[in-house]
Amino acid sequence: MISNYESPDRLRRTYFAAVLITILLGLASRKFSHLIFPFIAENAGDVLWAMMVYFGFRFLFLNKRMVTAIFLSLLFSFAIEFSQLYQEDWINQLRGTLFGALILGKGFLTVDLFRYSVGIIMASSLDRVTIIKKQKNI
């Protein structure tokens, strides 16, 4: 739900900025993976992808509760991952493009479900902490 401390337009811009920043961090985590710890390099892309999904749902459903964005993010992320079990030529050709690979992924990995959950928990926690901090500053 929209809090009474921030206008809907400003809040929507904030979530849009969070989506863009998360996308940039995700792309950077792939491009510069050789510069960071292997554990972080291996997991950061999926965690950041799920964070982007969460911020996207907050952007789209500004008037809904945070739990709605968490639920939709988990549902969407898990659906994308399980869709990777479906292997037909048309969808594999789509996955073969850069955009298709970034959105749909390429192969099912159970560990990705955990990574998505961690990313959504991190994003919603950051969201919650930010909201609490702004409410204290009123």
Alpha-carbon span 95 to 89, nearest angstrom: 10
Mean pLDDT of the chain: 90
* Nearest CA among 84, 109, 85, 79 for reference residue 95: 84
Structure token pair of residue 87: 């292997």
Task: Kindly state the average pLDDT of the residues 66-91.
Answer: 96
2 in any annotated domain: no
Q: What is the pLDDT of residue 93?
A: 94
23 in any annotated domain: yes
Task: Kindly state the average pLDDT of the residues 86-97.
Answer: 93
Domain count of the chain?
1
1 in any annotated domain: no
pLDDT tens readout for residues 28-60: 988 888 777 888 888 899 999 999 999 999 999
DSSP line for 48-91 = HHHHHHHHHHHHHTTTS-HHHHHHHHHHHHHHHHHHTT---HHH
Alpha-carbon span 3 to 18, nearest angstrom: 18
Task: Kindly state the average pLDDT of the residues 58-86.
Answer: 96
Residue range(s) defining the domain that contains residue 59? 8-136
132 in any annotated domain: yes
